[in-house]
Structure 1
């Protein structure tokens, strides 16, 4: 995860990448790294990484200080700096599962979909146990968020940012931040105002630093106000700040930032003030021109200009570097300002207007996701034709541009889906958003790579479907979740979900979901080694397909039934099932599948102690493969014939068949693998 040029409460000036003051704190933190811990003093090797804690209120510059320290220490940790955030700007605690996945993604380690937080945090600790890494945990709520991620490796360093102490983690001394010293605070102001206005009235600049409590976030807001008004004097701002009354009951430490925010906010044009308030709705606290445009109902170009102005005034932070257009730049609502914006929105905007703004934002996101997916479709497809009719601002130049957009927006898009479902009043939009996001992720990343995200999205669909009594969608979500459970080896969890999907499918009178669920219940029992139950459920699914005349599924299920009987050692029933499968494929004209089914008949005959019949059936399968024109399958069957002849004591004939297989393969490589259907193979 990349560091941000300007972070929450950061001590960045107008240039966006300068750091001011805090030299005493940096020196103390460096000394704390070198300080012997309790384990070292007692003569034992430290079992875990050292934890450095920077504590302070939002807006105190705690994250900026951590950024600077991480930058200075980076060369000491050759395996890099890993960073994740444990609290969103709006105050929501990031689930441990989500934080752990973010760290694993940074390490390019695939995380299994549906894994719980204990499994994922263990994967993080195991990965860091063999690395020399600096782990940066930003905005931690308490020790419970930090402790599961601590690597059992004294060569790593954990740098945590929090509002208070991390009680429960041993050997941690917090570096507690207050305000900046006056000299550093004035230097920060100077980056916005230039040196002349500060030099003319240094006493007024000191007064501003005092009124702001030395808080970098407050100083940035005042600096932005002054930068936008080159004719205003520093003394005028100091007078205005002193004249602002406190609103409501606020802690003394929170008043300087609240006054600085109020001074800047009340100076905004109504349109910009309205946009700023509604940015409290931005998913994950991040927004771009499209998000802002949808929230307030203006053009994308106008929204981009307003966002740029708000960032210049210190109300927003730029979190993605400038790209081809202003619409591509992302902005973040500082965590210190998020509660103030939400309070203003709740006080000044009517609930119906807020809900309408949220709906517009979700609708815009759905359209962007559809465009993102459509650009991957072949020319002339219905999706591409529909894409051509979309506004130019919503379209992507090519698939690469769409993939990059999806990569950058992925955290915000996932947050948007979660918030839409949690809202409860916009379920139709929420369902469309989740569906569009699933398709876009699958199109650009592939279902396997996107599986962890898809698992969470299917869970969101399930919650909406259960809340609204949408049994068909409930069944589909349960089937998708169960499939992912089965793919990651959680057969018992998959079985529970497949049974629930069967109940939902029956409630929806959906024959497809019901049949699919019955077959999948059988597959889950097969994975668990319960061949009798597997065969029973395959039989139920087969009976349903037969009543509906679904011949292709019927033939396939005969094959699955034959597999279960083979594993159970019931060779007579297995032979009947595989022969029925072969007959079904013959009626369908599917010659390759018919040849494979006959190959399985031959395999079962061999298991049953009937080698001559097995040899005859295998030759028949070879002939059908030849008629199908499938050289690789024919070669695989020739090899099967050779193995059978070896067992029958005819090595010369076996060599001939192997030579035939070699000629068939030529330069195509190895033959198809015809999988074993019995543990005896």
Structure 2
């Protein structure tokens, strides 16, 4: 019987293929009963009369493709009512690929709990936050792809009211009290039921023996049965015996473990039935970051149109080669190694690298469009956005924001993979820069700080690998700023010093000056006023040599601050007066008024109240000219306090009334009056 290749990109795709044919859970009733019994069974602590200190851990172990995750999800669904605080899910490895960094997994859990994670925090701090958050909740934690027992142990809640269901290839040695449930193949009856969901009952009824042979050839593995079922559903004219015959005819790969061979044969049955363009698109999905792909990713990898890619992805999903995930599709973890093996044998390395470059370039353009939509109408960014193809643009800020939010894990994984690749560093740098700008535009730098920290670290990795000293300085400064905001001042100081060295090596005056000022700021935060003043002085000298007057005035102010803290009032007055003079030359009246207010403060500290009174009045005049109502009101209060100390309570009362009047005027500016009040 001749077989025609499936063309998933054409309109003649078999109508019999329908999404979700095998979505319903089949079989595994014995395993479910055993898992429920394990939950009810008393643990060792209970038998000893002690309350359990931690959550109970159930382990579902099995080979990829055995339906272990589906069983875990079915169990979680049946137990959902027992855990009022919900079900949390975390994956510790990408589908069939490398481990997910533990800090990223912990951040995802904290995000699901609505808890902000500090930028730059390490694994220990983040996992402790997870355990602390779960200590007061009753949740079911489903840990998928739990290959590392130590990582699972770090996430275990110190709360016996929680339950952890872990999914792994094998035993999680090192975690006490784990109750394992090891999966083999499905029983014949359940396997045939799963196959029937794709083929319909007629084809099974007419040849039940062939159905049993197919189940046996697939090793009873649900993933293999779904693939064969999809193959049969796409061929209404083929019998189950045809599938059995073809499966038996496919040779085994001697390099594979015996238990993995049935799934490999089922995959080859479907893969070899695809048309060449569809087969190439499928195997290139092995390059998709985190195993997740939408139409844009598939289009870029295969070099086809977005609509054609979308059609092929939908076809792959109904054949069991992909499964829906959000707005896109996910490569099942059991198939990812098979796809990678096909890529290695079917694609030249240069073609693989070109496909990866196309995918990264498409991601960069999508991120640029995502950021540009936040710019005002008529801005250069919006004009550039209008020139992009319609498929790359976003209809609204809300749509772009939702895309960025839902694709955040994929985008971060894409950035990590691009940097780890090492051959596409230019694209990797562009991707990270575009992602940083998009996150800052949509979330703000404070909210996006945890992600920005990791992205700046990636920039630093590339800069150190390529000897890009200017970019290394910029990355170190950004990381230092985030460390400083998180209270890790010593870490920030080390970053700033390294940035200073990199800036000097690159002969980058801006980075050097910025680093010196930041070193001074770190010493100021640590209370080392002498070193802070020394570094501010170095930064000031550089700004003066370059004629950067605005920065010069600002640094005089920073010097005045640390001298004031150190009690060196004479030097503080000189610095603040220089700052006021600098702002006056620049025409910044508001900043001049603020500098003069600091001069008045220092004069008061130095025990010169009459001079402070005179300077404060001058500052009030400049604040009035600048229209800075809040500053003017604050200065009026300072005048009142000074007059009280000088023994003039009547004048002090007048200035307090003036302050209250100014603040009341400012409030009335924002007052909303009803129409009736104006009548």
**Fold match (TM-score > 0.5):** yes
Partner of 2:155: 149
Q: 1:146-203 CA deviation, whole Å, 9 max, x = no partner? A: 0000111111111111111110111112010111111111111111111111111111
Aligned partner (choices 242, 250, 264) of residue 248 of structure 2: 242
Q: Is the 8 A contact 1:13 1:191 kept in 2?
A: no
Partner of 2:13: none
Separation in 2 of the partners of 1:630 and 1:424? 53
Q: Is the 8 A contact 2:19 2:317 kept in 1?
A: no
Partner of 2:508: 510
Displacement of 1:296 in angstroms is 1.1
Q: Secondary structure at the match of 2:95?
A: coil
1:478-627 equivalences under 5 Å are 478-627=476-625
Aligned partner (choices 223, 226, 231) of residue 225 of structure 1: 231
Displacement of 1:669 in angstroms is 4.5
Aligned partner (choices 348, 351, 356) of residue 350 of structure 1: 348
Displacement of 1:13 in angstroms is 8.5
Separation in 1 of the partners of 2:96 and 2:459? 24
Partner of 2:84: 78
Displacement of 1:248 in angstroms is 2.6
1:262-411 equivalences under 5 Å are 262-320=268-326, 329-411=327-409
Partner of 2:219: 213
Q: 1:123-143 CA deviation, whole Å, 9 max, x = no partner? A: 000000011111111110021
1:86-101 equivalences under 5 Å are 86-101=92-107
Displacement of 1:347 in angstroms is 1.0
Aligned length: 652
Partner of 1:25: 31
Displacement of 1:382 in angstroms is 0.6
Matched, 1:55 2:61: yes
Q: Secondary structure at the match of 2:90?
A: strand
Separation in 1 of the partners of 2:496 and 2:148? 38
Q: Is the 8 A contact 2:22 2:197 kept in 1?
A: no
Query: TM-score, normalization: structure 1?
Result: 0.94
Q: Is the 8 A contact 2:301 2:358 kept in 1?
A: yes
Partner of 2:179: 173
Separation in 1 of the partners of 2:387 and 2:626? 44
Displacement of 1:426 in angstroms is 0.6
Partner of 2:458: 460
Separation in 1 of the partners of 2:168 and 2:666? 60
Separation in 1 of the partners of 2:548 and 2:395? 43
Q: Is the 8 A contact 1:13 1:192 kept in 2?
A: no
Matched, 1:69 2:95: no
Separation in 1 of the partners of 2:264 and 2:405? 35
Separation in 1 of the partners of 2:643 and 2:166? 68
Separation in 2 of the partners of 1:148 and 1:548? 52
Displacement of 1:54 in angstroms is 0.6
Separation in 2 of the partners of 1:13 and 1:544? 66
Q: Secondary structure at the match of 2:407?
A: helix
Partner of 2:6: none
1:3-22 equivalences under 5 Å are 14-15=20-21, 17-22=23-28
Q: Is the 8 A contact 1:142 1:167 kept in 2?
A: no
Q: Secondary structure at the match of 1:598?
A: helix
Q: 1:308-343 CA deviation, whole Å, 9 max, x = no partner? A: 1111111111112xxxxxxxx311111001111101
Separation in 2 of the partners of 1:69 and 1:559? 63
Separation in 1 of the partners of 2:627 and 2:408? 46
Separation in 2 of the partners of 1:509 and 1:142? 45
Unaligned runs of 5+ in 1: 1-11, 321-328, 672-681
Unaligned runs of 5+ in 2: 1-17, 670-679
Q: 1:537-572 CA deviation, whole Å, 9 max, x = no partner? A: 000000001011111110000000000111111111
Displacement of 1:467 in angstroms is 1.1
Matched, 1:108 2:114: yes
Runs of 4+ aligned residues of structure 1 deviating over 6 Å after TM superposition are: none
Query: TM-score, normalization: structure 2?
Result: 0.95
Q: Secondary structure at the match of 2:356?
A: helix
Displacement of 1:606 in angstroms is 1.2
Q: Secondary structure at the match of 1:668?
A: helix
Q: Is the 8 A contact 1:90 1:284 kept in 2?
A: no
Partner of 2:14: none
Aligned partner (choices 185, 193, 196) of residue 187 of structure 1: 193
Q: Secondary structure at the match of 1:257?
A: helix
Displacement of 1:348 in angstroms is 1.1
Q: Secondary structure at the match of 1:140?
A: coil
Distance change in 2, residues 1:331/1:293 (3 Å): same
* Farther off after superposition, 62-71 or 632-641: 632-641
Partner of 1:196: 202
Displacement of 1:667 in angstroms is 5.0
Separation in 2 of the partners of 1:159 and 1:618? 67
Displacement of 1:377 in angstroms is 0.7
Separation in 1 of the partners of 2:164 and 2:273? 41
